[in-house]
Amino acid sequence: MHALKVFAILFLLATGANPVVAQSSVVASALPGAEVRGTATLRFLGLPLYQARLFTVNGATLDWKQDFGIELTYLRNLTQHDLVEATLREFKRTGDALPLREQLNACFDAVDKGDRYLAVSDGNDRIAFWRNGARTCTLSHPQIKRRFMGIFVGDNTRSKSFTRKLTGT
Rounded distance, CA 8 to CA 14, Å?
A: 10
| Cross-strand bridge partners of residue 56 | 35
Rounded distance, CA 164 to CA 141, Å?
A: 27
CB 119 within 8 A of CB 148: yes
pTM: 0.85
The 10s digit of each residue's pLDDT in 42-94 is 998 889 999 999 999 999 999 999 999 999 999 999 999 999 999 999 999 99
Of 19, 97, 31, nearest to 70 by C-alpha is: 31
The 10s digit of each residue's pLDDT in 121-169 is 999 999 999 999 999 999 999 999 999 999 999 999 999 999 999 999 8
